[in-house]
Amino acid sequence: MLPQDKARQVLSDLRDYLGLRTHAAIARRLGVSSHTPYMWIQRGYYDPFLIKEAVPEISGDWLLTGEGEMLTPTNDRTSEELSRLRTTIRRLEMEADAARAAQQRAEKRADTVLEVLEKFTSTATRAAVSREEKPGVKIEL
């Protein structure tokens, strides 16, 4: 078992390598409960076999010792493809976040328009009722 500080560093390096920011994202990637990565970090302990199974390009020796190269040797083309895919995934996640934010802003604007429309309709209805109650009074909208 690794010392706690070394285990935490391995987990931090793994998180950075995977390009994941939250415990929930790490948990999804590793196929564990959302609380598990948090507990690993708090305890300074993790399951190296589970991580190796979920992320096969990670060196088993590195997971067990925290020393040496993080990645198992692969051909350069595969590493480049993985890097490009990770970059694409991060870009798509950022675009999705921006789209969600734009949708929320549009929904707020739509709510505001509906409120204004309801006030206008209410005012117009009151004016029409008032005009019916007072013949001879003209109200132009």
Average pLDDT, the chain: 86
70 with 59: CB under 8 angstroms?
Answer: yes
pLDDT-above-70 percentage for the chain:
87
67 with 61: CB under 8 angstroms?
Answer: yes
Using CB atoms within 10 Å of the CB of residue 70, give its burial: 0 to 12 exposed, 13 to 18 middle, 19+ buried. Answer: middle
Query: Does position 6 have pLDDT exceeding 80, yes or no?
Result: yes
In sequence order, the 6+-apart residues with CB closer than 8 A to the CB of 96 are none
As a whole number, mean pLDDT of residues 10-24 equals 92
pLDDT confidence band for 126 (50 / 70 / 90): confident
> Which is more confident, 77 or 92?
92
Global pTM value: 0.51
Locate the domains of the chain by residue range: 4-73, 76-133
| Fold held by 4-73 | 434 Repressor (Amino-terminal Domain) (1.10.260)
Query: Closest Cα partner for 19 from 70, 69, 88?
Result: 88
Amino acid at site 59: S
Query: Does position 36 have pLDDT exceeding 90, yes or no?
Result: yes
Q: Provide the pLDDT for residue 122.
A: 85
